[in-house]
Structure 1
C-alpha cells in the first residue's frame, strides 16, 4: 500500500491493481482535498467511515486522471481502502492531525 504526500491537500496513490481502459493503463491516481460543493449528496460520516458507496461517488470528482463510475466499481478493494484513507485524512481538522502526531 503506497500513499505519498504530494502536498497537504493532495495524495498520490500507487494502485496495487492498475485500471485498464482500452489501451490506457492507470497505475497511479492523484487525489485532492474536496471542496464543499464536491461533497454535495454525501454525508461526512459515511466518508469518514470509508463507506464504499460514498467513496465511489466522491473519488471521480477529486481524482486525476478522472476515474469513472465503471472504474470505481471495478477497483481492487485494497486500492479503494487506500483512497478512502486519503479522503478521511483530508476531512480531519489540522488540530486533530497535529494531535495524532504528538508522542504519547
Structure 2
C-alpha cells in the first residue's frame, strides 16, 4: 500500500512539473503609428486553416466551373439611374391595345 501511494505521489509530481517546464511565450505588441503600418503588419501574417479551406474551395470551384452552370449576378449599377418611367408592356397587352374594340382601364399608381 505504501509503495502504491509513493508511486502515485511521484507520478503526480512528474506530471505537474512536466506541464510547468513548457517555455512561456509572451506576445509583444508593437505600437502602430498609422493605418498603413497596421496594413503592412497584417500583410505577412500566417493563413489560418479556415482561410486555407476557403481558398481550396474557391480553386476547386474555378477548376470545375463551366458555362452551363453560371452562378453569377450581373450588376447593372445604382437603382437611381434606372429609368422606371415606362411600364413593362407585355405582348398580350400590346395586342389588346391595338384592338379597336378594347376598353382602356387606367388605375392609380
More strand by share: 1
TM-score, scaled relative to structure 2:
0.21
TM-score norm. by structure 1 comes to 0.22
